[in-house]
A = this chain, B = another copy of it.
Amino acid sequence: MIYAALDIGGTKTIAALTNENGSILTQKKFTSFVASSQTHLDICVNALRELMQERGLEAKEIHGLGVSLPGIVDSDRGVLLYAPYAKWKNVPVAEYLREKLGIANIRCDNDVNACAIGELKFGLGKKYSDFVWMTVSTGVGGASVSDGTLIRGADGFAGELGHLKVEYDHPAQCPCGQEGCLEAHGSGTALNRLTAKMAQQDAEFAAALAQAGSKADGAGCAKLAQAGNPKALAIFDEIGTYLGRGMAYCVNVLNPQAVVVGGGVSASLELLRPAITAALKVNAFRKMQDIDVVCTPLGYEAALIGAAALAAE
């Protein structure tokens, strides 16, 4: 069985065809046209048509299309209510794509829910019935699976793990308007900020970055940390401590078997692990604190595979 998947992100979009196991058969990657949601959806339609033509497939042979979207989604109606980066509002994604493509079964969800559903269906869901999905990237997003079911919450907004408060006494400003959020203290943005600050305050650290041919950003800090630079490791410890605090709340509320980490910063999970483990030990309730903290095996295509999982649900 063939499924279609669209992972529409704030900056890039991937269109793909997959099989029923979530394996990607063919894909096209392109820049998201943020100026107009309708134009961008037309670009997506063309991309999917091209992929179908290449494979000699017609719409009726596609068992479903899943769409992962960057924002707040009414998944029942398939409407993108609001996409913060693109400023799109109330886009009837499912209806528009259904009309243009002639595929009946179209399912939409936000990107983090899609990741969690992809993990559940095609990834570590084979191992874990209860897990938390945490995207650690520019921001921090989350979704929780309990007894094999995604927790959506009363309004579909559950899993705002990036806005769990992890710092009350010296809180950093968060883009959400509040302060002390995990997204402000334990994200890729925080990693960049701490690295830049350290480079400004510490000439030795700045020199080490320069010597490594790195910028004063998260990637540079990771490079130094991997080489054992103590100041770079201290920055990862700070980020990891805050991530561990956020994870500990989830542990106490949900008693999961694992936290599955995705997003760009997950590539540095081993640098974060000592502090995450230590934070879980002091902050999560003792009898539940021994959880697995693992990188998603779905890699950078988690949201795309998640979109395929939506269609195959």
Contact = CB atoms under 8 A, between A and B. Distances in A.
Contact of A287 (B149, B155, B245, B249): B155
A154 B257 contact: yes
B177 A154 contact: no
A158 B152 CA distance: 17
Interface stretch (A1-9, A48-56, A160-168, A206-214): A160-168
Contact of A253 (B72, B155, B159, B288): B159
B255 A152 contact: yes
A176 interface: yes
A227 interface: no
A130 interface: yes
A288 B252 contact: no
B249 A178 contact: no
Contacts of A151: 146-147, 151, 253-254
A99 interface: no
A158 B255 contact: yes
A76 interface: no
A282 B167 CA distance: 12
A268 interface: no
Contacts of A253: 142, 144, 151, 158-161, 164, 249-250, 253-254
15 contacts: A130-B153, A144-B254, A147-B151, A153-B288, A156-B255, A159-B253, A161-B252, A165-B245, A165-B283, A167-B168, A168-B245, A169-B169, A178-B282, A178-B283, A178-B285
